[in-house]
Every structure is written in C-alpha cells, then in structure tokens.
Structure 1
Amino acid sequence: MTDAQEHALAVLRDIDACFHRLFEAVDNADETAATPVADPITILRRVRSQIDAALLDQHRRTDDKPLPDGGSCVLQWTPSDTPPRRLVLEPDGDGDKWTRRELEWTGAGWRTCRRDTIRDVAISAPAEPRYPDPVDPPILDTLLALIRGTWTNPDPDVLVFDTLGMTEQGVLVAVDGELRYRDAGSPQWYTVTNEAELSHHLQQKGQPVVQSLSETSLTRQHFTPSPLTDDEG
C-alpha cells in the first residue's frame, strides 16, 4: 500500500471516530426527538456504513489477484457456515478434456480440496452478465489491520465470525495490541498468541467480517477483565 493510500485510510478512520462521537452526542440531546427533519442517527449510521465499505473495498482491491485466464470458468460462492469456495474448470490444450478443481478459502489463499479430469463439458450462461466477477475475499491480515488501533474509539471495530448465526458467534478484538477472542456464550475470553489459530475458526465458522462492537451481543466488559478472574462473563 502506498503512503498516499495509508494517509487516506487514516483520514477515513478519523472521520469514523468522529461519527461515533456524534452518535453519542445526538443520543444525549433532548431536542432530537422534536426535530422535524429525518432521523439524524439513521443518516449518520448510513454514512458510516459507506465509509466502512470504502475501507474494506480499498483493502480488497489492494489484495486481489487476477483470476486464471485461458478460457477458465470460475464459480465462487459463500456457504452459510463454511469459508468461501470456488469451482474452477480449466480446458486442456486441445479442449477435449477439462481439469476441475474445487477450492476452499483459508484466510490467506485458496486451498485445493479436489482435482480431477472431466470430459464433454457444456456450459450455459446468461447472454448478459448478471453477477460480479469473482474476487478473493480479504485475507485475515487485511482484516486484522482494520480492527487494530480502534479499541480507543467509542465503538471499536471487531472481527465477527459466523454473522449468520449458524453456530455460536465469535468476536475478536484488538486491545492494546493484543488479540482477544470470545464466543458469545463463553464465560471468558482468551488471548490469541498465534494468528494461525484464526484459520481454524475460519474453517469452522466461515469468513469473518468487520463490524462495530455495538453490533454484536458482547461489550467492552466482556474483553477487559482478566480471563482468570472473569467468573461472571
């Protein structure tokens, strides 16, 4: 990432923090309910969501790699409770045989789960493109960079595993440079000392997303007491 891009991201994060402070100020203002214009909270949250999307899109464009060419067909989807997957069909030189590869996202790249050779391939697709081109999901390092340094914000950014609620939701925060993970129903949090552990969570719960802590069922208090004395959860 260039210096200009780093600066732009830093500015956007500062704006994001300002919006959080505005939320608190508007929440505490008695005259808000009597204001005849559109709900300012709704407007501010809509603007903030656009900033979050811009931040993630910037990282995604930086990390995206070109897809294979040469006539390959790529189908990508995200299951409800597992990481993103791809099905890639690659024709051989004579076009008579194709290599079929099934891949699973690991958080750092694509892992081949199955590979075989197929024949007599027939493909039907809409005449007009209806779906976006497949892109790599943001890698875990990129997502971690988005939540680091936000704990001092009024509403810090966190990584949320299993946003669809298919299993118990897990939340990862960055407190003073330390990564702390907690499942929603767990009595305590634990420190993530090896970031490779997060790949295991990704395989079990699917690709995590960046959300505000207030959008989860957990609060700051769930991550700040000592994990050895946090008996009340």
Structure 2
Amino acid sequence: MTSSQQRALATLRDIDASFHRLLERVAKDDATASPPEPIATLRRARSQIDATLFAHQRRTEDTTLPASGSCVLQWDPPQTPPRRLVLDPDSEGDSWTRRELEWTGSGWRVCGRDTIDDVAISAPAERRYPNPVNPPTIDTLLEWIRGGWTNPDPEVLVFDATSPTEQGVLVAVDDELRYHERDGHRWYTVTEDELYHHLQQQGQPTLQPLSETALTRQHFTPSPLNNDDW
C-alpha cells in the first residue's frame, strides 16, 4: 500500500469514528423520535464506510492464501458460491497438488483434490488482477443488515435469480429474517442454517439498499398469513 493510500485509509477511519460519535449523541438526545433525513443519510453513509473498511481488512489480513509458490485462481460463477482453484507445488517442485474449493458462507470447503505433473503457467508480466480474498461470511452479512430496518432505505441482502427461482431479497425486521422472491406472493421467515443452504443454491448474496430492488417495505411488513392476494 502506498503512503497516499495509507493516508486515505486513515482519513476514512477518522470519518467513520466521527460518524459513530455523532450518531451516538443524536440517539441519546432523542431516542424516541424518528430520525430526520440528514441523520438517516449519515447512517447509510456510515454503513457503506463500514463495508469498505471491512473489505479492506479482509484483503490485507486474509491468512487463507497458501504459502509462496502456490497459484490461486478465484472467481464467482453465476448462481453458485465463489470458488477457488489452488495449485500447491511439493517441496522439490516435481509435482503439484490441485485443490478445488467452494465457499460455504463461513469458510472454504475442499470439493476436489488430486496430484498433477508437468505444470506450465502463463501470466501477465504486470499485475492486473487483485489478490483473492475471502467473501464476507453469512454472520458478517447479517450484521450489516440487522438493526437497519428503521432507516428510510435499509440495507438488504440480494440473491441473484436462477433458472427455477426469481431474485430473492432478505431483510431483518426486528431481528427476524424475512425472505421474499421478486414475483412471490408472500415472505417467509428463514433461519441462519437455511441461509447457508440457500447460498449453495443461488450463490453469494450482495448488499444493496432496498430501493435498488424490485420490492418495497410493504412486501415484508404484512402478515404472511394474510398477503396471498398480492
């Protein structure tokens, strides 16, 4: 990291800390009234800063990458969890261990392993791609959306559409996780364990404001027993 990047990161952390202190004072001054739009905007901005700082921390502190000499390729296939292909040379460099890994929502699962010989690698002379980093875990993603339903435009988790299912949106309403598909007739309460299974079916969700999805608050607030007429 260059010195200018370090200064920018330090400034971002200072801004984040200032936002935190300001919002704490506002909450103490008037804990019952609805927050005005400027305060709500600050809260949304701070949530975005938190996500950026977390991503940077994971990028710089990720200890899951193999030792020097190994080759790692990571990608996000459509509608399935992120994957990694790792080539580890043996101590003498005569053979390599090839491992295929799949993201589970909490870590990497080995789904294939074998030994290969005569490995040849071609790569750009100049660095063009970022280092592989762990995606956010399910626990981290849920931390980002919990407690934000009272915001004018809460953050939600969005699962991409697949061939059998529509785009799905997950919100946290009073600590209850509610899932609704784009063209569905009702929302469903889900558990964290069910989310891990869902990630395997539709891939890693992304963090987005609710306003950027096709759904609104009304899709999640009526009782699921009384909203079959949507």
TM class, shorter-chain normalised?
0.7 to 0.9
**CA distance in structure 2 between the aligned counterparts of 1:135 and 1:73, rounded to whole angstroms:** 14
**CA distance in structure 1 between the aligned counterparts of 2:221 and 2:115, rounded to whole angstroms:** 53
Structure 2: which amino acid aligns with 1:60? A
Structure 2's unaligned 5+ residue stretches are 1-12, 24-34
Q: Aligned residue pairs: how many?
A: 204
Structure 1's unaligned 5+ residue stretches are 25-43
**CA distance in structure 2 between the aligned counterparts of 1:58 and 1:143, rounded to whole angstroms:** 14
1:113 is matched with 111
Shift in alpha-carbon separation, 1:20–1:140, aligned structure 2, 3 A: farther
1:159 is matched with 157
RMSD (Å), alpha carbons: 3.2
1:210 is matched with 207
1:83 is matched with 81
2:51 is matched with 56
**CA distance in structure 1 between the aligned counterparts of 2:86 and 2:36, rounded to whole angstroms:** 43
- Per-residue deviation, 1:62: 4.4
- Per-residue deviation, 1:131: 0.4
- Per-residue deviation, 1:149: 0.6
Shift in alpha-carbon separation, 1:153–1:48, aligned structure 2, 3 A: closer
Matched, 1:96 2:91: no
Secondary structure at the residue paired with 1:196? helix
For the Cα contact (< 8 Å) 1:9–1:55, is it kept in 2?
no
Shift in alpha-carbon separation, 1:97–1:50, aligned structure 2, 3 A: farther
Shift in alpha-carbon separation, 1:13–1:230, aligned structure 2, 3 A: farther
Which whole-Å deviations, capped at 9, do the CAs of 1:156-210 have from their partners, x for residues lacking one?
A: 1111111x77651000000011111111121111111x30110121111111011
Structure 1: which amino acid aligns with 2:168? G
Identity %, equivalent residues: 60
Alignment of 1:117-156 (within 5 A): 117-156=115-154
For the Cα contact (< 8 Å) 1:12–1:51, is it kept in 2?
no
1:65 is matched with 62
- Per-residue deviation, 1:57: 2.6
TM (norm. structure 1) is 0.77
TM (norm. structure 2) is 0.78
For the Cα contact (< 8 Å) 2:19–2:46, is it kept in 1?
no
Alignment of 1:23-38 (within 5 A): none
